[in-house]
Structure 1
Amino acid sequence: MTADGGKEPPEDEGNRHVENAVLLGFLAVLAAAGVWLLSTMADVRKVQDCAAQGRRNCATIEVPDRTR
């Protein structure tokens, strides 16, 4: 009930479900971006640690797979 004694209007259940689905999708994208960012930061940190120790050839070397 509201302060003036009237009943509250019923919530639109269909609209609420759509909003919850959109919010869940947004949170999933945000979590995936966070994981990607942390992974990238870890890779950069490894290269910086290698270079700080005075080593050479610290960058990763991409080697193509051999086909038989």
Structure 2
Amino acid sequence: MKTQRPIVSVPSDEEHRVLQFRPRAAMPTGQRRNPNEAVRKLEVANDLSRYEREREEPDDFRHRMLANIAAFAFTMALLAVGIWLAMSISHLRRTQDCVLMGRHDCVQIFPPHP
């Protein structure tokens, strides 16, 4: 069975060590990198033409616009339903708080129209 070490409030010197980092050795002059090499690698990385492909059909901008309008209308409908739901919950909460306080005039009664 293992023995447990007691919990000490002050850490001992055995638990802490200072690590010494050595500086990197300089590269020999023959192995130094050309600064233009990094620029060429960056240009190759930014070239996205290798991911392009020919499309079978041209883009249908009218269809895309209609899809965007439909998505916008759907988003607005969700927003309207969310606002209505929040207002309904707020109204029900106020009415419930009024009833729980013991008041009898909590619900607003509208007079009938002649």
Two-structure CA RMSD over aligned residues (Å): 2.0
Write the mapping of 1:53-64 to structure 2, written as runs, cut at 5 A. 53-63=101-111
- Identical aligned pairs, as a percentage? 30
Separation in structure 2 between the aligned mates of residue 58 and residue 6 of structure 1, nearest angstrom = 67
Give TM-score scaled by structure 1 length. Answer: 0.75
Question: For the residues of structure 1 that align with 2:53 and 2:69, how far apart are their CA atoms?
Answer: 31
- Amino acid in the other structure paired with 1:62: F
How many residues of Structure 1 are paired with residues of Structure 2 in the alignment? 64
Structure showing greater Rg: 2
Q: Map of 1:1-68 to 2, 5 A cutoff? A: 6-7=53-54, 9=55, 10-63=58-111
Unaligned runs of 5+ in 1: none
Return the offset for 1:14: 1.5
Q: What TM-score, normalized to structure 2?
A: 0.48
Instruction: Give the number of the structure whose residues are more often helix, by fraction.
Output: 1
